[in-house]
Amino acid sequence: MSKETVERTNRQMKDFVSTRLNPLLESGYYATITDSKVDSLEKKKIRNSFLLFRSSSKGAAVEGVDIDYLSLDEYDRVGAAAELSAIESMSSSQFKMLRRWSTPTVPDYGIHALFEQSDQRVYMHKCDHCGYRQQMDYEKNIECVDESGVDLLAKTVKDGTFRFICKKCGKALDRWYNGEWVAKFPDRTINNQGTRGYLVTQLDAVWINL
């Protein structure tokens, strides 16, 4: 990888820590369990554990560090050497917890290939009105309640233009409280074997409104 790429991904990682994570760790509950003496963009201490951040563009970024839990973000852009090296850092751990996250980029590659081999969990929302359980669908779970709310030229949508509905009874669907993960292939992860896969779409993301 070029020097420029390494510098860019390193900067992205530090920007992520300073703008997304630090505001959470510096206030409220997390501030009470985070050690302010151990504070950098690469290392945090929460209670008696350390949280380390590394850019995956350098293959040996976590070499020499013993870890119990590894989280690889933007997995489709993580190189094979970096992944192997990071997994190697868990070799002496009794936990060896591995989580890989990504927006899928290419079919049958990276996170999509892993998901295909996994038990393929999807989030099933339960309707408060009729009890029907359903996976969200762009065609069937969205209703336009005000045609004038869409301005195609300005490319804007007024709040309240669309609402989520149950695909069976058509009444309003509350996405917040009544869901559960359901595996398409539960046999694949029996007795803690195999890989659990979780599909999260923007329709499941309650913080994104219509």
Q: Which residues bind Zn ion (CB under 5 A)?
A: 127, 129-130, 132, 166, 168-169
Smallest distance from the beta carbon of 131 to Zn ion, in angstroms? 7
Tokens 């804007």, residue? 156
Q: What's the token pair of residue 67?
A: 């870890």
Compare residues 150 and 169 and give the one whose CB is closer to Zn ion.
Answer: 169
DSSP 146-184: -GGGEETTTTEE-TTSEEEB-TTT-SB--TTTSEEEEES
Smallest distance from the beta carbon of 169 to Zn ion, in angstroms? 3
Q: Are 66 and 93 in contact (CB under 8 A)?
A: yes
Q: What's the token pair of residue 141?
A: 């779970």
Compare residues 171 and 184 and give the one whose CB is closer to Zn ion.
Answer: 171
Smallest distance from the beta carbon of 198 to Zn ion, in angstroms? 24
Q: What's the token pair of residue 48?
A: 């008696």
Compare residues 140 and 188 and give the one whose CB is closer to Zn ion.
Answer: 140
Question: How many Cβ atoms are within 10 Å of 142's Cβ, its own excluded?
Answer: 16
Compare residues 113 and 122 and give the one whose CB is closer to Zn ion.
Answer: 122
Smallest distance from the beta carbon of 134 to Zn ion, in angstroms? 8
Compare residues 112 and 163 and give the one whose CB is closer to Zn ion.
Answer: 163
Instruction: Enter the DSSP assignment of 21.
Output: I
Q: What is the dihedral of CA 59, 65, 71, 74, to 10 degrees?
A: -20
Smallest distance from the beta carbon of 139 to Zn ion, in angstroms? 16
